[in-house]
Amino acid sequence: MNPSKGTLILTNASEIVTLKSKDSMPKFRMSGHELSLIKNGSLIIQNGRISDILDHPFSESHFPTSEPTTLVDVTNKTVIPGLVDSHTHLSFAGDREDELEKKLQGVTYLEILKQGGGIMRTVKATRKATVNELIRRGKENADIMLKHGTTTIEAKSGYGLDKENEIKQLTAFNKLNEVCASSIVPTYLGAHAIPPEYSDQREKYIDLILQEAIPEISKGRLAKFIDVFCEKEVFSIDESREILLAGKNAGLRPKIHADEIVRTGGAQLAAEVEAISADHLLRTDDDGFNALADVGVIPVLLPGTTLSLMNNEYPRARRMIDEFDLPVALATDLNPNCFCFSMLQIMTLACFNMKMTPEEALLASTINSAAAIGLHENIGSIEVGKQADLVIINAPNYKHIPYKFGSASLVDMVIKNGKVVASNTPALIKTTM
Ligand code: NIG
Ligand code: FE
Q: Give the tens place of pLDDT for each residue, 374-397.
A: 999 999 999 999 999 999 999 999
Asked whether the beta carbons of 68 and 47 are under 8 A apart, the reply is: no
Our answer on whether the CB atom of 257 is closer than 6 Å to any ligand 1 atom is yes
Place 113 in a pLDDT band, splitting at 50, 70 and 90. Answer: confident
Neighbours of 242 (CB within 10 A): 17
Look at residue 426 and tell me whether its pLDDT is greater than 70. Answer: no
Query: pLDDT tens for residues 17-65?
Result: 999 877 655 555 666 677 889 999 999 999 999 999 999 998 776 666 5
Our answer on whether the CB atom of 304 is closer than 6 Å to any ligand 1 atom is no
pLDDT given for residue 23 in this prediction: 64
Angstrom CA distances, 45 to 318, 386, 433, stand at 36, 10, 17
**Whose CA is closest to 89, among 134, 39, 155, 40?**
155
CA of 15 to the centre of ligand 2 (A): 34
pLDDT given for residue 6 in this prediction: 83
CA of 425 to the centre of ligand 2 (A): 35
46 forms bridges with which residues in the sheet?
Answer: 7, 49
pLDDT given for residue 4 in this prediction: 67
Place 428 in a pLDDT band, splitting at 50, 70 and 90. Answer: low
Asked whether the beta carbons of 37 and 82 are under 8 A apart, the reply is: no
390 forms bridges with which residues in the sheet?
Answer: 81, 415
pLDDT given for residue 1 in this prediction: 63
Q: Whose CA is nearest to atom 2 of ligand 1?
A: 229
| C-alpha–C-alpha distance, residues 69 and 193, integer Å | 51
Q: Whose CA is nearest to atom 11 of ligand 1?
A: 333
Ligand lying closest to the C-alpha of residue 121: 1
Q: Which ligand 1 atom is nearest residue 113's CA?
A: 9
Place 114 in a pLDDT band, splitting at 50, 70 and 90. Answer: confident
Q: Which ligand 1 atom is nearest residue 92's CA?
A: 10
Torsion over CA: 196, 202, 204, 208 (sign): positive
pLDDT given for residue 63 in this prediction: 66
Asked whether the beta carbons of 178 and 184 are under 8 A apart, the reply is: no
Q: Specify the 3-state DSSP secondary structure of 72.
A: strand
Any idea which of 148-152, 250-254, 423-427 has the lowest mean pLDDT?
423-427
30 vs 356, higher pLDDT: 356
CA of 335 to the centre of ligand 1 (A): 6
Q: Which ligand 1 atom is nearest residue 109's CA?
A: 9
Asked whether the beta carbons of 391 and 79 are under 8 A apart, the reply is: yes
Q: Tell me the percentage of the chain whose pLDDT exceeds 70.
A: 94
Q: Whose CA is nearest to atom 3 of ligand 1?
A: 229
Q: Whose CA is nearest to atom 1 of ligand 1?
A: 333
Mean pLDDT value of segment 334-344: 97
Asked whether the beta carbons of 13 and 41 are under 8 A apart, the reply is: yes
| C-alpha–C-alpha distance, residues 219 and 250, integer Å | 8
One-letter amino acid at 57 equals P
Mean pLDDT value of segment 305-327: 94
Angstrom CA distances, 194 to 281, 338, 357, stand at 22, 21, 39
CA of 5 to the centre of ligand 2 (A): 37
Our answer on whether the CB atom of 119 is closer than 6 Å to any ligand 1 atom is yes
Any idea which of 246-260, 358-372, 415-429 has the lowest mean pLDDT?
415-429
pLDDT given for residue 34 in this prediction: 78
Any idea which of 51-65, 179-193, 349-363 has the lowest mean pLDDT?
51-65
Query: Mind giving me the DSSP string for 94-118?
Result: S--TTHHHHHHTT--HHHHHHTT-T
Mean pLDDT value of segment 184-209: 96
155 forms bridges with which residues in the sheet?
Answer: 186
- Gyration radius of the chain's alpha carbons: 21
Our answer on whether the CB atom of 118 is closer than 6 Å to any ligand 1 atom is yes
Reported as type and span, the H/E element at residue 305 is: helix 303-309
Q: Where are the alpha helices (DSSP H) in 41-162?
A: 99-104, 109-114, 119-128, 131-147
Q: Which ligand 1 atom is nearest residue 229's CA?
A: 3
Our answer on whether the CB atom of 336 is closer than 6 Å to any ligand 1 atom is yes
Q: Are strands 253-258 and 277-280 parallel, antiparallel or unpaired?
A: parallel
Question: Mean pLDDT across the chain, nearest whole number?
Answer: 93
Q: Are strands 429-431 and 69-73 parallel, antiparallel or unpaired?
A: antiparallel
247-260: b (≥16 Cβ within 10 Å) or e:
bbebebbbbbbbbb
Place 352 in a pLDDT band, splitting at 50, 70 and 90. Answer: very high
Of the chain, the end-to-end C-alpha distance in Å amounts to 24
Query: pLDDT tens for residues 213-246?
Result: 999 999 999 999 999 999 998 999 999 999 999 9
pLDDT given for residue 337 in this prediction: 95
Helix %, strand %, coil % of the chain (to 5): 35, 25, 40
